[in-house]
Structure 1
Amino acid sequence: MIAKIIPIKRLPRNFSSFDYTVAENIEDSLKVGQLVEIPFRSKNIFGVVFSIEKSDNEKLKDIKTIINETPIFTKKQLEMYIILAEIYLVSPTTFLKMALLPLQKRKLGKIELKNIEKIETKEIKNSYFFYQSKQEHKKLFKEITANTLIIVPEVRHIEELKKMLPKKQQEKVATWYSEMSDKEKFETWLNIKNEEKNIVIGTRNSIFLPFNNLTKIILDYEHDENLKSWDSTPKFHTKDILKFLQKLYSCEILFASFSPSFEKYYEITKSKLDYQGEINKEKLLFPEKKKNLPSLVNLSNNNFIQNKSVFSLDLEDQIKNTEKDIFIYINRRGFATTTICHNCGYIARDPDSNMPLIYEKSTNKLYSPYSKYSQKFNPFCPKCKSELLKNYGYGTELIEQEVYKILNTKNTHQVLKLDKDSVQELKPQNKPKIIIGTNAAFKSINWEDTELIIFLDIDRQLAIPEYLSLENVWHTIQEVEYYRQNSSQFYIQTANPEHTVFKSLGEKDRIYRTDLNNRKNLALFPYQYIVKYYCGTDTSLKSKEITEQTVRNINQALTKLEKSAIVLGPYEMQPKYFRRQYWWGFALKISDKNPLSLIRQLNQYIPGNFKIDPNPVSLLSP
């Protein structure tokens, strides 16, 4: 007998399984889905049995031993991981590693896996739950049943949701996230597999756990971009994987949020999702506003221009006089974001990526966030030699300095700068905080004590040339709206108060209708499914030529398969130089009813040095 084994080892994407002979003494006990030990090159490693065939080959190596008699995976689960690997251009091992417990040989021999019966589920339906307050949010978990997976975007949401469950149900909860220790993961995985804990709350990787049964999946905060694996490979979106899980387990899926994604709003209005609430044709989803609306501070106002500060005079007074916590949001690091010569227009740029360098006052250096390049700041322009090189724009570092100026000698607040580069420790002090931060700061805010919220530099975020920019800004504003207290003050500084985002604050349906109409005209998601392919090499020309040839191959493949797709590109990525490589890419807009199936077919024509990003958060960045 021969068994196809998927090795639990990082491998190139074209290696999915290897053949091994099955010794007579284990022929009767070997099953698909079992964890086994196999010789691989010069070592013994773990593998999972994918299939067993009645044929012989004396030249093959033998399976060493069966680690556990009870299969960890079903055949259908393994087939799903194989399909996902073909879609996301990785080895199946990538998904198996996310699905397995930590592989510690000493412990694995002692574990007991129960044979759990498969539950027959009834009708499959997908629905949506919209909430505006924590009280409404709790209703989502009132009738939670066993065999439920609750997926959240960030670790900070796990404990928050656990507390919302009825006390009896809290005892049945297992939590799953990547930062857990191996010991915690080992014990939790066994509890989930043996259904000793049958309600799981986890971040996006929990979707790959090998459940025996799932009757319901709740995707909470479904609007959040952290449900997309945008910063690591494979670049999957949780919503795409849910389609495979629903087919595998025949389970119900419930999407929920205080700020529906534009995709789900579209599906609700087109009756593709059951909406748990009434839809009014004029107001559609959103009932009347309960809190006071955010106040807009117009940057073109004369008082602001004369003040020569990043804050208006009114906001400076608010900062001085606020006795409780303050949150100042600026989604940009550093002191200044652009260095420009007033005389000749020269802009200091990273020589590799061509992106503007950021000025950091504490080191008096210009640096690139995309490469390791940095240089000392010199006020003399390298192009025209004039002493008119000035820093413009602002980041968290400059705002921190401005806040200290406003407070002057008043030592009333603890000032903290929280961004990706520098997360200062929130030391307990007997005074309120002023938190200056990017999106990384949200998890550190005590909303109950936060009296003043200020958004700076929103206009720059809205000007980012990505089709999701507007939606991302909208959800950030709505997150503050959801968490902040009724008594708090929320200010947004803008030079464009007539922008759709701000006009929609009191009429939320407007932004959805407007942006979806624009996306329809441009054939963008959710009207067309988008997938991005990109390639990096040591020269821009090489990357360009490889990408151009690949686009030609894809066009030929579409003709051969009798399928259609709109090809965007090839184009140079932004930044063009990242992680010591030059990047070029292209994107496909797919109208096919099953876009992931078409992507799987097209991937046969994609070279091995390409990366794939289905349902991307950015079309331009590598």
Structure 2
Amino acid sequence: MIAEIIPIKRLPRRFSHFDYTVPEDIKERITPGQLVKIPLKSSEIFGLVLSLREKRASDTSALKEVIDIIHETRIVSTAHLEQLKVLSEWYGVSYGTLTKMMLLPLQKRKLKTITLGGILTPVSNLVHKPTFSHYVNEKEHKDMLTSQLEYLNTKEQIAIIVPEIQYIDTILSYLNEYEENIVVWHSGLSTKEQFERWLQIRNGEKHIILGTRGALLLPYFNLKKIVIDYEHKDNHKHWDQAPRFHVKDVAELLRTRHGVDIHMMSFSPSLESYFHIHKHQYASETVDITPFLDCHIVNISDERRGRNFSPISEKLEQQLLALQGDAFLYLNRLGLATYIGCNSCGWRATCPSCKLPQILHEKNKQLTCHYCKTAASLPTICPKCKETIVTISGVGTETVEKLLIDFVKEHNLPHQVIRVDSETNSQTAQVLNFPIILIGTDTAFPYINWQKTDLVAFLDIDMQLSLPEFRAQESLWHLLREVHYHKRADAQFFIQTREPTHILFKSLEEPDRFYRTDLNHRMKLGYPPYKYLVKYFYGHANFLEAKKVMETSVVVLKKRLREQHKDIELTDSFDMHPRYYRGRHWFAVMARLSPELWEEDLVWLNAHIPDTWKIDPNPISILSP
């Protein structure tokens, strides 16, 4: 007998499983889904039995033998093995890579002592449409979450998936009456915690699983419902390493194959969800999004014409002078200066590796690249033309911090100025007992005390509006809606911009206008939800080699698409941004697939690309490697 076994180890995708002969003494006991010990090269590792078959004439006598069965009870079901196969084909990773994410930490001494109960096989007799709930305050959020748990019986499980660890405590506070039946899963758990909690999920001891995206890959005892909360957030996507899966795609697989119900929730519906609701692809009523009526738009161009070159407008300055409680000033740029250059010859300080602009920091007076983590000294003369005047300009969080410290001292305000970004200790803002003016990037949002905050201001969001990414405006829209959701009704909100007539700001009082406009643009350009996108990218230390490989491969792939009459649109290759990153030059190509056939077409495409390419289905960014 031959056993096809998945080595539980990160391997290239072409090494998904290996054949092993089954010794006579375990032939009657071995079965798919069991954990076994196998030889691999000169070592012994754990493996997962994928399938069994009788020996064929073509099988070589040089096959190695299975060493032992670790546990008689199957650790995963046949349905979980099928799920592994599909996800491996979608994301271009080996079975072993996915198995490591699916299973508990493999500790030799503990594995033989664990108790594994039987595992139910999902039955997909009835497949329901996904549903959606829109909440506008914390009470509604809590009520909608608890309503999802009302009809759960003692043998069924529900997975509540949040985008980041920081949201777990919020959800736990809403579900404190279910505390004894909740198990939390995320990447920050210790090995011991992972081991214990994995068994509780696998054996059906806990019925409410609250976790981040990795929790969706676990082998549940009897999963009946998935709740995707804060469904608009980008971090539902595992974007930084393979497998680059999106929670919504994996949930859809479980819905269509195993009949698992899907429920989306958010205070700011994503464009895709808005589209699916209005097209009746979700079993939900039309979403009524609350207008943003109390927002003050300040035209920065008028401020400059009035000779005010400060990052703080006159209107905002007046609000700060009258401030009693806390204030939050948002600026998504680090540093003291964001432009260091020469007016004579046009030279600009850029990173020698990735060519992105370098940022000047107050602490060490050095130019830093936040992509490559490299630093260089601030030049006193232009390295190109040797002029002695080097221009330093641009506003970052450190610039505003220095300005406001002086402002507070000058006007004798009782506030402490605190900066929270990726360069600072974020905990500082939470332990102070006096009013603060908090300056920060996206990093600062979890540390805002919204009940004490009287004033929120976005100092300069025009750069985010101009990003050449199709999701850029939507991301900024959700950020504005997040402020609207959290802030007190009487708190003031200011937005400083050079484009006060932008559709984003015009839509604050008419939210549907933003959704309709952006969806119309996406329809014309072939972006989600009208097309399913897949990004393929490749990097090489040699620029010409990277460019040649990508361009040649795209020509071959386009030819195959025409021969097979595939309804897949493939772009030409393009540079990524930054082009040079982590020692490689990066190029990419994007495929547009039909939303109805994307699963089939994705598998076909993945089978025709070079092994060295990286695969990113449903990407959140087109240009970033």
- Give the structure 2 partner of residue 132 of structure 1: 136
* Residues 379 and 390 in structure 1, CA contact (< 8 A), matched pair in contact too: no
Q: Which moves more between the two structures, 252-261 or 53-62? A: 53-62
- Give the structure 2 partner of residue 282 of structure 1: none
User: Using a 3 Å threshold, how does the CA distance of structure 1 residues 547 and 102 change in structure 2: closer, same or farther?
Assistant: same
Letter in 1 for 2:364: T
- Give the structure 2 partner of residue 352 of structure 1: 353
SS at match of 1:245: helix
Cα distance in structure 2, aligned partners of 1:6 and 1:414: 57
SS at match of 1:501: helix
SS at match of 1:448: coil
Q: Cα distance, 1:130 vs. partner?
A: 0.9
**Of 81, 92, 111, which aligns to 1:89?**
92
- Give the structure 2 partner of residue 263 of structure 1: 272
Q: Cα distance, 1:346 vs. partner?
A: 2.4
Cα distance in structure 2, aligned partners of 1:536 and 1:422: 33
Q: Which moves more between the two structures, 337-346 or 1-10? A: 337-346
SS at match of 1:231: coil
* Residues 289 and 512 in structure 2, CA contact (< 8 A), matched pair in contact too: no
Cα distance in structure 1, aligned partners of 2:458 and 2:120: 53
- Give the structure 1 partner of residue 209 of structure 2: 200
SS at match of 2:495: strand
* Residues 326 and 453 in structure 2, CA contact (< 8 A), matched pair in contact too: yes
- Give the structure 2 partner of residue 152 of structure 1: 162
The answer to whether structure 1 residue 556 and structure 2 residue 566 are counterparts is no
Cα distance in structure 2, aligned partners of 1:69 and 1:150: 31
SS at match of 1:140: helix
Cα distance in structure 2, aligned partners of 1:259 and 1:27: 55
**Of 179, 184, 189, which aligns to 2:188?**
179
The answer to whether structure 1 residue 497 and structure 2 residue 506 are counterparts is no
- Give the structure 1 partner of residue 433 of structure 2: 430
Q: Which moves more between the two structures, 228-237 or 490-499? A: 228-237
- Give the structure 2 partner of residue 461 of structure 1: 464
Give a deviation string over 1:491-517, Cα, whole Å, max 9, x none.
111111111111111110010001111
1:370-409 paired onto structure 2 within 5 Å: 370-408=371-409
1:93-132 paired onto structure 2 within 5 Å: 93-118=96-121, 120=123, 122-132=126-136
Q: Cα distance, 1:192 vs. partner?
A: 0.8
**Of 524, 531, 534, which aligns to 1:531?**
534
Letter in 2 for 1:50: L
Q: Cα distance, 1:293 vs. partner?
A: 2.1
Cα distance in structure 2, aligned partners of 1:195 and 1:95: 22
Cα distance in structure 2, aligned partners of 1:324 and 1:592: 49
* Residues 20 and 62 in structure 1, CA contact (< 8 A), matched pair in contact too: yes
Q: Cα distance, 1:490 vs. partner?
A: 1.4
TM (norm. structure 2) is 0.94
Q: Cα distance, 1:273 vs. partner?
A: 0.8
- Give the structure 1 partner of residue 230 of structure 2: 221
User: Using a 3 Å threshold, how does the CA distance of structure 1 residues 507 and 16 change in structure 2: closer, same or farther?
Assistant: same
Give a deviation string over 1:563-590, Cα, whole Å, max 9, x none.
0322222111111110111111111112
SS at match of 1:232: coil
Give a deviation string over 1:180-215, Cα, whole Å, max 9, x none.
111111111111111110111110111101012121
Aligned residue pairs total 613
Give a deviation string over 1:526-580, Cα, whole Å, max 9, x none.
1111111111111211110000011012112212332032222211111111011
Give a deviation string over 1:54-106, Cα, whole Å, max 9, x none.
22754222212211111111222112212212221211112111111111111
User: Using a 3 Å threshold, how does the CA distance of structure 1 residues 113 and 141 change in structure 2: closer, same or farther?
Assistant: same
Letter in 2 for 1:570: S
* Residues 426 and 444 in structure 2, CA contact (< 8 A), matched pair in contact too: no
User: Using a 3 Å threshold, how does the CA distance of structure 1 residues 302 and 434 change in structure 2: closer, same or farther?
Assistant: closer
* Residues 550 and 605 in structure 1, CA contact (< 8 A), matched pair in contact too: no
* Residues 3 and 21 in structure 1, CA contact (< 8 A), matched pair in contact too: yes
1:513-528 paired onto structure 2 within 5 Å: 513-528=516-531
Letter in 1 for 2:42: S
1:357-368 paired onto structure 2 within 5 Å: 357-368=358-369
1:264-413 paired onto structure 2 within 5 Å: 264-275=273-284, 277=285, 279=286, 285-286=287-288, 288-289=290-291, 292-302=293-303, 305-408=306-409, 410=412, 412-413=414-415
Q: Cα distance, 1:292 vs. partner?
A: 4.8
Cα distance in structure 2, aligned partners of 1:239 and 1:142: 21
Cα distance in structure 2, aligned partners of 1:129 and 1:18: 45
User: Using a 3 Å threshold, how does the CA distance of structure 1 residues 178 and 517 change in structure 2: closer, same or farther?
Assistant: same
Letter in 2 for 1:55: K
* Residues 575 and 621 in structure 1, CA contact (< 8 A), matched pair in contact too: yes
Q: Cα distance, 1:408 vs. partner?
A: 1.8
- Give the structure 1 partner of residue 422 of structure 2: 420
Cα distance in structure 1, aligned partners of 2:290 and 2:552: 54
1:45-84 paired onto structure 2 within 5 Å: 45-55=45-55, 58-84=61-87
**Of 471, 482, 487, which aligns to 2:485?**
482
* Residues 289 and 511 in structure 2, CA contact (< 8 A), matched pair in contact too: no
User: Using a 3 Å threshold, how does the CA distance of structure 1 residues 580 and 422 change in structure 2: closer, same or farther?
Assistant: farther
* Residues 329 and 454 in structure 1, CA contact (< 8 A), matched pair in contact too: yes
User: Using a 3 Å threshold, how does the CA distance of structure 1 residues 305 and 178 change in structure 2: closer, same or farther?
Assistant: farther
Q: Cα distance, 1:166 vs. partner?
A: 6.4
Q: Cα distance, 1:424 vs. partner?
A: 3.8
User: Using a 3 Å threshold, how does the CA distance of structure 1 residues 305 and 422 change in structure 2: closer, same or farther?
Assistant: farther
User: Using a 3 Å threshold, how does the CA distance of structure 1 residues 551 and 305 change in structure 2: closer, same or farther?
Assistant: farther
Give a deviation string over 1:456-502, Cα, whole Å, max 9, x none.
22101000111111000000111111111112111111111111111
The answer to whether structure 1 residue 512 and structure 2 residue 521 are counterparts is no
Cα distance in structure 2, aligned partners of 1:326 and 1:422: 18
Instruction: Give the unaligned 5+ runs of structure 1.
Output: 280-284
Give a deviation string over 1:310-346, Cα, whole Å, max 9, x none.
1012322333442322222111222222223223332
- Give the structure 1 partner of residue 618 of structure 2: 615
Cα distance in structure 1, aligned partners of 2:198 and 2:524: 47
User: Using a 3 Å threshold, how does the CA distance of structure 1 residues 435 and 233 change in structure 2: closer, same or farther?
Assistant: farther
Letter in 1 for 2:307: Q
* Residues 271 and 474 in structure 2, CA contact (< 8 A), matched pair in contact too: yes
User: Using a 3 Å threshold, how does the CA distance of structure 1 residues 174 and 549 change in structure 2: closer, same or farther?
Assistant: same
Instruction: Give the unaligned 5+ runs of structure 2.
Output: none
User: Using a 3 Å threshold, how does the CA distance of structure 1 residues 596 and 389 change in structure 2: closer, same or farther?
Assistant: farther
User: Using a 3 Å threshold, how does the CA distance of structure 1 residues 423 and 82 change in structure 2: closer, same or farther?
Assistant: farther
How large is the RMSD of aligned CA atoms in angstroms?
1.9
- Give the structure 2 partner of residue 247 of structure 1: 256
* Residues 540 and 584 in structure 1, CA contact (< 8 A), matched pair in contact too: no
Cα distance in structure 1, aligned partners of 2:424 and 2:189: 23
User: Using a 3 Å threshold, how does the CA distance of structure 1 residues 500 and 379 change in structure 2: closer, same or farther?
Assistant: farther
User: Using a 3 Å threshold, how does the CA distance of structure 1 residues 577 and 288 change in structure 2: closer, same or farther?
Assistant: closer
- Give the structure 1 partner of residue 473 of structure 2: 470
- Give the structure 2 partner of residue 452 of structure 1: 455
1:591-610 paired onto structure 2 within 5 Å: 591=594, 593-610=596-613
Give a deviation string over 1:411-441, Cα, whole Å, max 9, x none.
7334332222333432623323332221122
* Residues 303 and 312 in structure 1, CA contact (< 8 A), matched pair in contact too: no
Cα distance in structure 2, aligned partners of 1:17 and 1:456: 54
User: Using a 3 Å threshold, how does the CA distance of structure 1 residues 411 and 393 change in structure 2: closer, same or farther?
Assistant: same
